[in-house]
């Protein structure tokens, strides 16, 4: 079934209205300026309750589940891919703390993460640890009531704005997966409190608004109380439990981006005149639009299925991997076709379809490359299901 409940439809409509009125009118200018998502826009998302969308009511959330997160993500991403990514880090850390946090950690961090008063970021990737997530080198050595961090991280998105960064660290050299722990690094919003903690912005062709950073730790002290769960060596398992949701949410960012590209291409094809008629009269363009629309709807329906499985508490790692793989490659193709339909104007940076095209470069890399998704899918199909 693809029908949405009345409650979720209302949230979808609220997100769509917000995206159309508040996000879309400023997205292109902010993208071209390579500016961060403005604080006032972030605050309006907080006011809508978006950051607490998936959290249970007993901890101050809206308790609307994964399907609600999916449709809200699509609407926000349709206006600007970067804004669709904004709630994801809070949602993920909230889930990690609900599943694994100590009572003190839940009390200390959850209220501000759920309200959005504090922003989260995640730091896992390193120069030699991308798809091989267990190959991290950043160390955390216990010293009385603190851990001492040393190492370098890559691609920590939203790091400057975040007040809480969940960080993959190695607490034991004797074990690969079981030697990894998750620490919560607290920092002021908008600052890197060097010299123990410094950062360098990574320049990208797209995905502006959610800037990514390389982080440098030089004897940074982090309280032992910030070890998620209070036990070392559990981070790999703690994070793996969130991968299904993360891939589902990323897929709906892809779907929202693809929908935006399709809408712009369809509208342009209806007004662009060549050889005395609009280009949507030509079969070559009509067939592109047909294929684009079909791919988007197929990804959306697969995504609804995955979200519903997660809401029922069912395992969906295979389906989430399939969804992320299909949605990412579909959206990348749709954005390319939107540029093609626009012709030369699609190559102009001032056009929205050029922004979609630039943002789409991330899709088959972020949240697990297409190659890794295929490996995970094949492993489940061949090795586990025999």
Active site residues: 367
What are the Cα distances from residue 218, in Å, to 139, 193, 271, 334? 10, 11, 57, 44
Query: Look-up: residue for tokens 């579909």?
Result: 330
Query: Look-up: residue for tokens 């629309």?
Result: 293
Q: How far apart are CA 68 and CA 56, in angstroms?
A: 13
Query: Look-up: residue for tokens 């329906």?
Result: 301
Greatest alpha-carbon pair distance for the chain in Å reads 78
Q: How far apart are CA 152 and CA 139, in angstroms?
A: 10
- Name the phi and psi angles at 174, rounded to 5: -85, -15
For residue 302, how many other CB atoms are within 10 A of its CB?
Answer: 19
Of 107, 80, 23, 12, residue with least CA distance to 50: 12
Give the gyration radius of the chain's Cα atoms.
21
Q: Is-contact 151 171, C-beta < 8 A?
A: no
Of 380, 374, 381, 268, residue with least CA distance to 328: 374
Of 322, 154, 332, residue with least CA distance to 257: 332
DSSP β-ladder status, 164-170 and 120-123: parallel
Query: Whole-angstrom distance between the N-terminal and C-terminal Cα of the chain?
Result: 30
- Name the phi and psi angles at 115, rounded to 5: -75, -20
Q: How far apart are CA 139 and CA 156, in angstroms?
A: 17
Of 274, 374, 286, residue with least CA distance to 324: 374
For residue 311, how many other CB atoms are within 10 A of its CB?
Answer: 16
Q: How far apart are CA 343 and CA 170, in angstroms?
A: 50
């Amino acid at each position: 079934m693809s029908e949405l409940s009345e409650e979720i439809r209302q949230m979808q409509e609220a997100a769509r209205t917000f995206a159309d009125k508040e996000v879309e009118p400023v997205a292109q200018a902010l993208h071209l300026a390579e500016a961060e998502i403005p604080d006032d826009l972030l605050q309006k998302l907080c006011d809508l309750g978006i950051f607490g969308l998936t959290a249970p009511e007993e901890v101050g959330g809206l308790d609307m589940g994964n399907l609600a997160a999916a449709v809200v993500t699509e609407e926000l991403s349709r206006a600007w891919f970067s804004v669709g990514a904004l709630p994801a880090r809070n949602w993920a850390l909230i889930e990690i703390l609900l599943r694994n946090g100590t009572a003190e950690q839940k009390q200390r961090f959850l209220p501000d993460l759920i309200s959005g008063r504090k922003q989260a970021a995640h730091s896992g990737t390193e120069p030699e640890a991308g798809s091989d997530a267990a190959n991290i080198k950043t160390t955390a050595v216990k010293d009385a009531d603190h851990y001492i961090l040393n190492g370098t991280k890559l691609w920590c998105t939203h790091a400057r704005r975040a007040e809480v960064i969940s960080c993959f660290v190695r607490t034991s050299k004797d074990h690969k997966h079981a030697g990894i722990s998750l620490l919560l690094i607290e920092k002021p919003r908008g600052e890197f409190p060097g010299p123990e903690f410094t950062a360098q912005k990574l320049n990208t062709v797209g995905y502006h608004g959610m800037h990514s950073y390389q982080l440098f730790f030089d004897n940074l002290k982090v309280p032992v109380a910030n070890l998620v769960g209070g036990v070392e060596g559990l981070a790999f398992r703690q994070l793996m439990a969130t991968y299904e949701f993360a891939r589902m949410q990323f897929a709906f960012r892809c779907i929202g981006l693809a929908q935006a590209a399709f809408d712009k291409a369809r509208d342009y094809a209806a007004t662009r005149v060549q050889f005395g008629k609009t280009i949507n009269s030509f079969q070559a363009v009509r067939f592109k639009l047909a294929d684009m629309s079909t791919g988007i709807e197929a990804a959306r329906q697969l995504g609804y299925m995955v979200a519903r499985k997660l809401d029922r508490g069912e395992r969906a790692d295979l389906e989430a991997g399939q969804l992320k793989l299909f949605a990412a490659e579909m959206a990348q193709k749709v954005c390319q076709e939107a540029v093609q339909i626009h012709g030369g104007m699609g190559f102009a940076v001032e056009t929205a379809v050029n922004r979609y095209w630039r943002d789409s470069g991330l899709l088959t890399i972020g949240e697990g490359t297409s190659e890794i998704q295929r490996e995970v899918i094949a492993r489940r199909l061949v090795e586990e299901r025999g």
